[in-house]
Chain A
């Protein structure tokens, strides 16, 4: 066992990735990332492709897209729809939490 304390990078709202970073982090090709952008799965900020910046949320969505494509063989528009619906469910569950008593078993 290693006793060192590892300090990673927190991927919060301040994290920004370039197109190249994102490709590396997803082990995906540039073409694949461009398809994700074209399908609206992820939306970079910045006009020029060279100036594109991706948020941590983009990275998370790209990872999810990669797994859904690989494991369930869903095409990209299906993946885009699934991810949107999954996020909506998450948002609804967060709202539901306010109506559920804490002391339930």
Chain B
């Protein structure tokens, strides 16, 4: 397993005071909190920081960790020396800053055996509680929102095995993505969350819909936007041109005198629903390159014939 350098994760020196460690943790926790930071690795960073803090905030754990020595490098293959923690006393389960006992193998190998008195121990007694709700994201393509889809997602969650050891269990769920979903909407799967304690029911699983970036379309709520390159003569003279939409090609009439910067609405061709979203076509006028004598000649002819000054309003 990989060695973790908790000091470098926290960005503090090895001789940092407990106060400095606390300040560093607060700052990093705010920075990487998955509700605040939308980067894809934010949650992993948040957990890593929470784990580092859990090890370093407790003077006993920190002393035990320090005793491994300063020569270890992050990512180096690591196995705890036998009886490495002799003479250190840990004060039982921490109060789970990173949302419970979701620690790395490295952390478990160092401090894990002292975490046995988790909720599992209490379940023997007369204790019932509903399982935790779990939250995950599911990435879909825009077309999935138009047509509906089935996605399989793999979730890994920490569970206690029969001996009370934490193991990471993986399970795969096939989930129906209904037609008409929007970015950020959530699907609740009742009873697919954490296991309850005692007679308690299982928690729920919430899946947040996330659209993958599309190379052609932009999505805003249930509306979809398409940048459509058009030629100067299509813009000036009007034309009927083929336009892609997520539901297939359509013919679109470009009115004569179309300027860049506007948009045309194709009603109800956005994400389906009640009401359905719209598809907005944003025309982008593109110029052919003046890369031949004939092309240059044509541009010069326009210059002479049209006498066009786009800067009239600027008074020049």
A residues sitting closer than 8 Å to B (CB atoms) are 1-12, 24-25, 27, 56, 60, 63-64, 67-68, 70-72, 82, 86, 94, 97-98, 101-103
B residues 126-151 in Cβ contact with A at 8 Å: 130, 132-133, 135, 150
Given contacts A6-B173, A25-B133, contact A11 B186 (CB under 8 A): yes
What is the chain B residue whose CB lies nearest that of A73?
Answer: B26
- The yes or no answer to B192 lying at the interface (CB within 8 A) is yes
Contact of A11 among B176, B185, B218 (CB under 8 A): B185
What is the chain B residue whose CB lies nearest that of A3?
Answer: B174
- The yes or no answer to B225 lying at the interface (CB within 8 A) is yes
20 contacts between A and B (CB under 8 A): A2-B172, A6-B174, A7-B178, A8-B176, A8-B190, A8-B207, A9-B187, A10-B185, A10-B186, A11-B185, A12-B181, A12-B182, A12-B185, A24-B130, A63-B135, A67-B34, A71-B29, A72-B29, A82-B36, A102-B227
Q: Which residues of B contact A25 (CB under 8 A)?
A: 133, 188, 204
Contact A7 B186 (CB under 8 A): no
Contact of B175 among A6, A60, A72 (CB under 8 A): A6
New A-B pairs, 14, CB < 8 Å, besides A5-B174, A7-B176: A1-B171, A3-B174, A5-B175, A6-B174, A8-B188, A9-B187, A9-B188, A25-B133, A68-B35, A71-B46, A72-B29, A86-B36, A94-B220, A102-B214
Bound CA–CA A86/B181 (angstroms): 22
Q: Which residues of A contact B203 (CB under 8 A)?
A: 27
Contact A5 B33 (CB under 8 A): no
Contact A27 B97 (CB under 8 A): no
In the assembled complex, the CB of A105 is this many whole angstroms from the nearest CB of chain B, namely: 12
Task: Encode contact with A along B161-198: 1 for CB under 8 Å, 0 otherwise.
Answer: 00000000001111110101110011111101000000
Task: Encode contact with A along B83-107: 1 for CB under 8 Å, 0 otherwise.
Answer: 0000000000000011100000000
Contact of A72 among B30, B189, B207, B214 (CB under 8 A): B30
In the assembled complex, the CB of A33 is this many whole angstroms from the nearest CB of chain B, namely: 15
Contact B133 A27 (CB under 8 A): yes
Q: Which residues of B contact A70 (CB under 8 A)?
A: 99
What is the chain A residue whose CB lies nearest that of B214?
Answer: A102
Size of B's binding interface in residues, CB under 8 A: 46
Number of CB contacts from chain A to chain B under 8 A? 92
Bound CA–CA A64/B133 (angstroms): 13
Bound CA–CA A64/B135 (angstroms): 11
B residues 183-236 in Cβ contact with A at 8 Å: 185-190, 192, 203-207, 214-216, 218, 220-221, 225, 227
In the assembled complex, the CB of A50 is this many whole angstroms from the nearest CB of chain B, namely: 23
What is the chain A residue whose CB lies nearest that of B186?
Answer: A11
Bound CA–CA A103/B30 (angstroms): 32
Bound CA–CA A52/B215 (angstroms): 43
Q: Which residues of A contact B97 (CB under 8 A)?
A: 71
Q: Which residues of A contact B187 (CB under 8 A)?
A: 8-11
Bound CA–CA A4/B192 (angstroms): 13
